[in-house]
Structure 1
Amino acid sequence: MENILHVSQLSKRFGKKQALSNVEFTVGKGRIVGLIGPNGAGKTTIMKAILGLFSYEEGQIKIDNRVVSETSHQALGKVGALIEYPAIYPYLTGLQHLQLNATGADVNKRIARLVKQMKMDSYINRKAKNYSLGMKQKLGIALALINDPELVILDEPMNGLDPQATKDLRDVIINKAATGTSFLISSHILSELEKLVSEVVIIDHGQVIKQATVANLNHQENDFIVLKTSDDTQAKVVLHEAGILVVDTPGIVFNQTATRTLAVVIKTLVQAGIDIYDVVHQGEDLEAALLSILHNETKEA
């Protein structure tokens, strides 16, 4: 498969902090790739590096076989992006935003088609200062798509979208990919991301742990348990002292098949005076696969 994006041995430091270390992955033409991992893993930093927003110490980024760096942006003419928050001018309408950013032929036709696809007709002529968070997000995504880029980079695109808007966006992305557009998407909403992506790049602590198709992820027999307690921080300490391995995520997550039974975990927490509010079994899906990989990384470390 021909690749539109190739990130090779990318390393980046911010002061004393090693933000990225030998990051390497590809995005094939017409593919939808998910960039996933815990908070602070380096996902947004990778996306900003691809867009040439800062220099990096080692490695190389190529878009359509052309190098991208802080001083070399020619290849970015083929790229559309939404990173973190859309850049919105409050006193311009949504339509004026699109008109300012659209280039090339058939501008008005492309704008009208995209507004219809994104279902923005009812407010596209209103000033952006009156937009809700979801409306601003849809406008930001529309700005990333307006010039029919070959590669689209989206950081948390579902942020602020209601279920219907999320489905509408999913349909737009899938249709674009079917015509050859490539996507690199970061999202913490793994249940939605799983409906979109054909493969994932898993990153943790600034390093790529694995790149694989969703179908080929390691779906071993996993029984992940997610707990909500009266004091999650102290609960992690108690479980660690008891030799019970917890996955390195914001919540309390452990692999029942790899550590102890749920009964032992509950007994350990109750004896420590920690109340348990909720217990959820994770299904065998993208989220479970991610937890399994992160669990194995924690165990090997």
Structure 2
Amino acid sequence: MQRVQEKIVQVVGLRKTFGHRAVLRDVNFEFSAGKIVGLVGPNGAGKTTIMKALLGLMAIDSGNVRILGQPVSVTTHAVVTQQVGALIERPAIYPFLSGWQHLQLMTTSVKQMTWVVRVLQMENYIHRPAKRYSLGMKQKLGIAMALVNRPRLVILDEPMNGLDPQSVKQLRHLIGQLAGEGTTFLISSHILSELEKIIDTVILIDQGQVLLQRTMAQFQQSARQTLVVRTTENVRALRVLLQADYPVTQQNGDLIVSKSVALTPLLHALLDAHIQILKVNQYQEDLETVLLRLLAERKA
């Protein structure tokens, strides 16, 4: 018998307006324990507003939020205090406190503070005043403050902001490790190429509405594939492939087959026509390309 996964986050009918502007329009989504969920969309789509509503930091007009089955609002958010870690917009840093003192504001466990400093490789500066921190150091401190209590849900808004490539790689590894141990993540980031490497599920939001929620496996199935072929006789090769009903065009010295096709029969069609093949490459749309296409199709 298959085990039912525990729902960590449930959002139903979320609506929010600022003046006459609707920021959230009937937002609905949910996800289970141990998932890494990417919340993506254009600037102003409503991502940060959703995150603040999840944390009970912002009153909503209608709808409800539940985390671990418990209601969350500006007046009811005990579960957030106990079970959720977050970094929203930018870390709340006190310039004259050291990084270690910031962690002491979050927990009394020296073991947990030592752990998070070690895994984020902050040993060299954790005892310096935060006013001497670079942007990347401050970002790591904000992430450390979100993780130090080992919460069951972690909400991160642009966590890769200011991090160097090595630190981004370390963060990806840490998030994957913690998710494997049961921690759930909701991450918003504009760096989709990095987000794509770690997330299980994508929630796409635009103009305050959830356009879709899909697993990465579903995204990969819907991603368009392109085949790029170069031959010694592209003009004749184009004619051969068109006669064989392949969706092919010529572009910059290459033949572009615009959708997924079986490669072996295509190559045989060219070889049977005695056309020499110089290059064959297959490309699949990445997450960023798919999302941009979906947004463009919605606005068309």
TM-score by length of 1: 0.77
Counterpart Cα distance in 2 of 1:56 and 1:93: 35
SS in 2 for 1:216: helix
| 1:215 CA displacement | 1.2
Q: How many residues align?
A: 243
Select the structure of larger CA radius of gyration: 2
- Aligned pairs (5 A) from 1:207-286: 207-217=209-219, 219-221=222-224, 284-286=285-287
- Aligned pairs (5 A) from 1:286-297: 286-297=287-298
1:44 matched to 2:48: yes
Partner of 1:62: 66
1:80 matched to 2:85: yes
Larger mean Cα displacement after TM superposition, 180-189 or 73-82: 73-82
**Post-superposition CA distance 1:87-136 (Å, at most 9, x none):** 01111110111112114xxx111111110100001100111000000000
**Root-mean-square deviation (CA), in Å?**
1.9
| Residue segments in structure 2 that go unaligned for 5+ positions in a row | 227-246, 253-282
SS in 2 for 1:188: coil
- The residue type paired with residue 165 of structure 2 is P
Select which of 143, 147, 150 maps to 1:148.
Answer: 150
- The answer to whether the 8 Å contact 1:156/1:188 transfers is yes
| 1:35 CA displacement | 0.1
| 1:220 CA displacement | 4.3
| Residue segments in structure 1 that go unaligned for 5+ positions in a row | 224-256, 264-281
Partner of 2:187: 185
Partner of 1:35: 39
| 1:18 CA displacement | 0.1
Partner of 2:57: 53
**Post-superposition CA distance 1:145-168 (Å, at most 9, x none):** 011100000000000000001011
Counterpart Cα distance in 2 of 1:207 and 1:112: 41
TM-score by length of 2: 0.78
Partner of 2:99: 94
| Runs of at least 4 residues off by over 2 Å | 218-223
SS in 2 for 1:126: coil
- The answer to whether the 8 Å contact 1:153/1:183 transfers is yes
| 1:219 CA displacement | 2.5
Question: Structure 1 residues 125, 16: CA separation in 2 closer, same or farther (over 3 Å shift)?
Answer: same
- The answer to whether the 8 Å contact 2:6/2:33 transfers is yes
Counterpart Cα distance in 1 of 2:57 and 2:149: 20
| 1:262 CA displacement | 8.6
- The answer to whether the 8 Å contact 2:53/2:59 transfers is yes
- The answer to whether the 8 Å contact 1:5/1:27 transfers is yes
